[in-house]
Amino acid sequence: MKKILFCEKVYSRWIILLIDQFIVGFSFVVSLIILEQGDYQAVFNRDVLLYLVLYHLISILVFVSMKIHTGMIRYSSIEDIFRVFKAELLTSGLLVLMIYSFAKPQFGFDSQWFLSMLIINFFISASLLIALRIIVKQLFHYLKDLQLVTKEVLLIYGADRASLLIKHGLDAASEKNFELLGFVDDHPDRMHKHLEQKKVYGSSAISGLKKKHGVEKMIVMEDCKDIEGRKQAIEKCMECGIRVISVPASNHWLKGRLKLSQLPDLKIEDLLQREPIHMDCEHIIAGLCGKRVLVTGAAGSIGSEIIRQVLKCNPDLLILCDQAESPLHEMQLEIEDNFPDSTCKFMIINIQNYGRLKNMFDTCRPEIIFHAAALKHVPMMEHNPSEAILTNVMGTKNLADLAVEYQVEKFIMISTDKAVKPTNVMGASKRIAEMYIQSLQNYERERLFKTRFITTRFGNVLGSNGSVVPRFRAQIEMGGPVTVTDPDVTRYFMTIPEAVQLVLEASVMGNGGEIFVFDMGKPIKILNLAINMIKLAGFLPYSDIKIRFIGLRPGEKLYEELLNKTETVIPTYHEKIKISAVIDYPYEYIAQVINELLVLIQLNDDRQIVRKMQEIIPDYVSTNVNYQCINV
């Protein structure tokens, strides 16, 4: 019996129909025996046999038409049971209709006796058919549980319809290697009550449940509305070493089922709990629809997300420019899968190559440019300042000059908070690029050129290539240690979608010459970020996973600013976006010092390059010991 029920094979629907009809016939006979008080001679006669045959024919037609026999009994739901109830009710009704329409006018019979028998039969047959499904379902899950030696003990956050959907989805899992202990909800109307025989606990009880029952994981729904309650429960879980895993919205589940092993751990950005930025999508779409759009750095973290968002705006042509062949190829495959009707050009170009860029402008004639290409890793650029200048400064200058020559409508440059009071080569190179863009904007206004130059400046992006979060995650997976530069180091963080929304908003908000700054809330301590990630993975910081402090690397500083102390901000119509009122520099001066900087690169003298950058940016004070002695 166990082997038959436990088998994953789904048996023929006709076998199910045969079993159902056996129950229907058995119930009919039992109801007659009850009505005749055990007088078998009165039960087994020709008339009763005709009624039974007629009843079976009607029942078969109803069950087949309602597809009762096609359901998988082991996964029966409330809806399936209700359909069985309706099928039996319809069968009885049709039998009464046929008997009173055809049999009663021809043959006399006791209608009261017939109706009494039919009512008794209805309740017996419906009860047995429903009981069959409930018993098989429970027995199937019971036998499944017996197969498992160890099971994970789970909690589900929330005690509402969404939480029940999670429970039902897990119940339908093919491999039930868990035990659902109950739900967690701090709502006073739900606490200490039961939901489908599972108790609803408050978040304060989580630590006790960990000790008593060995709870290992808590599941949360991605689109949970109670953000504060969820945050409190997650913090309790992290304190106790309980892993938190995130469940997508139910419409993303495959065949309505969940598989626990495939559920992702809660993303660290879910713990930021900062209200996301919201944009007016309509005017963003209007600003990009039907345009020829160029994105540099198109295969990078920011560039690829810009591509995805811009494609939703139906541009006339999207030009993807990057020098990384494999990532750009992956981006091409993604676009072909998700945006098959879009018109795109994929171009492998190094923005240092002015000739290749000019050829692209000749053939594609972009109207809007999103400039995301850059060398961004601080320690790497400290050892390669020439490349930082060639890409971040000269590459930007190449694009900007061509944008003016080909009368591009808008040029949106993506900068960084490291350009504010730079302490490293990367930040200084991006600040010089900012200065050139702004000076070119003022120069254009005097000469009545068309292009509007806009800059967006924001902090670290969670999950971007080479950022701290993927680094910590990889170290945790390896068993540690997690390396933090300094216990006091802090950084601003935002998610990739937020960063891109800012860039797209700037593309329609800017009139030219602005540096848009996003209100990123409070900076986050990197040590706290590491501790939370370790806890999210179900480990204890310093015990299971060690944390090692390695000291600030060349060019790094303890904290970063979005604004210089000498800069002021101007509000915009969006409360989360401000404009930095920075000092403007004459175009002739910036163009001259950049040319001097590019000449120095030919000498391959890093110290001379850094000295020149410090002359251009007076507040650039390097924290790299190799360059500190040349601070001017």
Residue 236, judged by CB atoms within 10 A of its CB (0-12, 13-18, 19+), counts as buried
Rg (CA), the chain: 35
What's the rounded Cα separation, in Å, for the pair 267 and 471? 14
Angle formed at CA 527 by CA 217 and CA 547, multiple of 5 degrees: 75
Q: For residue 624, give the DSSP letter.
A: -
What's the rounded Cα separation, in Å, for the pair 169 and 171? 5
How distant, in Å, are the alpha carbons of 174, 256, 259, 276 from that of 248? 19, 12, 12, 18
225 noted as active-site residue? no
Helical residues (DSSP H) of 99-184, grouped into ranges: 104-106, 111-146, 161-171
Buried b / exposed e along 293-328 (16+ C-beta atoms within 10 A): bbbbbbbbbbbbbbbbbbbebbbebbbbbbbeeebb
What's the rounded Cα separation, in Å, for the pair 98 and 54? 9
Nearest to 613 by CA among 629, 587, 632: 632
β-bridge pairing 460-462 and 368-371: unpaired
Angle formed at CA 496 by CA 494 and CA 502, multiple of 5 degrees: 75
Cα–chain center distance at 161:
21
Helical residues (DSSP H) of 175-261, grouped into ranges: 206-213, 227-240
Coil vs helix vs strand at 12: coil
Cα–chain center distance at 24:
50
Q: For residue 391, give the DSSP letter.
A: I
How distant, in Å, are the alpha carbons of 223, 271, 414, 528 from that of 546? 33, 21, 36, 14
Query: Taking the chain, what is the end-to-end CA distance rounded to the nearest angstrom?
Result: 87
**Catalytic pick among 267, 291, 418, 535:** 418
Strand (E) or helix (H) holding 491:
strand 490-491
CB 292 within 8 A of CB 367: yes
Q: For residue 71, give the DSSP letter.
A: S
What's the rounded Cα separation, in Å, for the pair 603 and 563? 34
CB 625 within 8 A of CB 383: no
How distant, in Å, are the alpha carbons of 277, 305, 316 from that of 288? 20, 15, 9
How distant, in Å, are the alpha carbons of 305, 309, 339, 342 from that of 314? 15, 10, 10, 8
CB 529 within 8 A of CB 460: no
Q: What is the largest CA-CA distance in the chain?
A: 118
Enzyme catalytic residues = 418
